[in-house]
Amino acid sequence: MNEASELVRRIEAGGGLTDPAWRAAFEAVPRELFVPYYYLPAIGGYRRLWRNDPDPGERRRWREGVYEDAPLAIRVRDGELVSSSSQPSLMALMLEALDVPDGADVLEIGTGSGYNAGLLSERLGDSHVTTVDLDPALTETAATHLAEAGYRPHVVTGDGAQGCTTYAPYDRIIATCAVQTVPYAWLTQSADGALVLTPFATGLLPLRIERGDEGEVRGEGRFLQTPAFFVPLRGGPPPWETGAERPKGVPRGAWVDDSFRFALALLGGAAEPAEIFDVWRSAGRPERERYGVTVSGERQWAWLDSPTGGHAWELRSEEA
From 5, 83, 84, 306, active-site residue: 83
DSSP, res 101: P
Helix (H, G, I), strand (E, B) or coil at 194: strand
* Residue 317 among the catalytic residues: no
Terminal Cα distance for the chain, rounded: 52
Q: CA 270 → CA 146, 185, 274, 315, distances in Å?
A: 40, 22, 12, 6
Strand positions, DSSP E, the chain: 37-42, 45-50, 72-77, 80-85, 106-109, 129-133, 154-157, 170-175, 190-200, 203-211, 217-222, 291-296, 299-304, 312-315
Distance CA 245, CA 270 (A): 19
Q: What is the C-alpha to C-alpha distance for residues 268 and 112, in angstroms, rounded to an integer?
A: 27
d(CA 230, CA 200): 9
How far is it, in rounded angstroms, from Cα 171 to Cα 5?
29
Residue 246 is classified by DSSP as P
Amino acid at position 264, single letter: L
In 168-283, alpha helices (H): 184-188, 252-255, 258-267, 273-282
Residues identified as active-site: 83
